[in-house]
């Protein structure tokens, strides 16, 4: 079986903790000695901001063939390498649409742009909240996806839609794309959300991580400090949960 190395953190609903998960999972894996690259494929550029790296040269220039991927990747003091982005990445959508209309292959655009990358143990991709051609090339490149979500009624509805969308992606873009699991974030473990949490963890539409990420103010403070939670506050519930996620992730990928 092909080793799972390239993981897209994705959900078309915004604000569910995609970037927070990409940033903190990457750092927790690097802390364990793995070589990790975080690709910021979201034009909002929040992962780039979180790691406080320069935005140029960026993923856009790499995708356009203007800069080698090895020249755009930046090292951080947290042991994670970052391929940055900012709002200019949004114009790649027009490039990819033009390629498709002209009959040129476009799905392998990201794969080709990154073919000279060094041999990372894991490549984590922070995805944009919307679909489109940019997500097509990410899905083509990725081995697997993680889908952060809230424990709420909309989360259950989103899971149904995602199951249908993934079936379509496998049919038209990447038949080998695997689902590592849905990941409950901002978990309160009480009230109505605890009920939805049990429903999500018990459903069989898509696999779920048994680890959940609790609502924790330290996670927000870590963002403001431009540090991953494993550095900012090792004793916080946020760090405890993301360390547990990293352990479960490694079990799932067989590392």
Note the pLDDT tens digit of each residue in 48-84.
999 999 999 999 999 999 999 999 999 999 999 999 9
Strand partners, 238: none
Report the C-alpha gap between 92 and 239 in whole angstroms: 35
Look at residue 43 and tell me if it is in a domain.
yes
Look at residue 238 and tell me if it is in a domain.
yes
Instruction: With a cut of 60, say whether residue 1 has pLDDT above it.
Output: no
pLDDT band for position 155 (cuts 50, 70, 90): low
Look at residue 100 and tell me if it is in a domain.
yes
Which ranges of the chain does DSSP label H, i.e. alpha helix?
A: 18-31, 46-50, 59-63, 69-72, 92-101, 109-113, 133-141, 153-172, 191-202, 217-224, 229-232, 237-253
CA distance readout (Å), 105 to 5, 99, 122, 173? 24, 7, 26, 12
Look at residue 197 and tell me if it is in a domain.
no
Cα angle, residue 160 at apex, residues 155 and 165 outer, rounded to 5°: 115
Look at residue 32 and tell me if it is in a domain.
yes
Look at residue 190 and tell me if it is in a domain.
no
Asked if residue 28 lies in contact with residue 242, where contact means CB atoms within 8 angstroms, the answer is yes
Instruction: Provide the number of structural domains found in the chain.
Output: 1
Look at residue 115 and tell me if it is in a domain.
yes
Look at residue 191 and tell me if it is in a domain.
no
Domain residue limits at 52: 6-150+217-249
Look at residue 104 in the predicted model and tell me its pLDDT: 85
Which CATH number covers residue 242?
Answer: 3.40.50.300
Report the C-alpha gap between 206 and 204 in whole angstroms: 6
- Which residues fall within 8 angstroms of residue 176, CB to CB, at 6 or more apart? 2, 143, 170
| Class of residue 124 by CB neighbours under 10 A (exposed 0-12, middle 13-18, buried 19+) | buried
Counting every residue written for the chain, the total comes to 255
pLDDT in tens, 17-51: 999 999 999 999 999 999 999 999 999 999 999 99
- Helix, strand, or coil (residue 70): helix
């Amino acid at each position: 079986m092909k080793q799972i190395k390239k993981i897209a953190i994705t959900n078309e609903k915004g604000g569910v903790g995609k970037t927070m998960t990409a940033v903190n999972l990457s750092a927790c894996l690097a802390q364990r000695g793995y070589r990790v690259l975080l690709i910021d494929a979201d034009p909002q550029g929040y992962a780039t901001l979180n790691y406080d790296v320069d935005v140029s040269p960026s993923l856009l220039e790499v995708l356009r063939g203007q800069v080698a991927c090895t020249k755009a990747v930046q090292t951080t003091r947290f042991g994670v390498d970052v391929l940055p982005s900012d709002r200019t990445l949004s114009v790649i959508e027009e490039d990819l649409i033009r390629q498709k209309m002209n009959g040129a292959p476009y799905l392998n655009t990201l794969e080709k742009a990154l073919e000279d990358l060094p041999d990372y143990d894991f490549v984590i991709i922070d995805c944009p909240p919307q679909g489109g051609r940019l997500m097509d090339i990410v899905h083509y490149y990725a081995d697997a996806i993680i889908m952060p979500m809230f424990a709420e009624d909309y989360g259950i509805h989103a899971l149904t839609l995602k199951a249908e969308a993934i079936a379509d992606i496998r049919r038209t873009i990447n038949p080998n794309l695997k689902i590592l699991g849905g990941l409950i974030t901002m978990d309160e473990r009480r009230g109505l959300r605890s009920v939805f949490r049990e429903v999500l963890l018990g459903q069989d539409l898509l696999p779920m991580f048994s680890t959940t990420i609790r609502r924790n103010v330290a996670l927000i403070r870590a963002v403001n400090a431009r540090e991953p939670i494993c550095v900012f506050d090792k004793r916080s519930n946020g760090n405890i949960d993301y360390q547990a996620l990293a352990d479960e992730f490694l079990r799932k990928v067989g590392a």
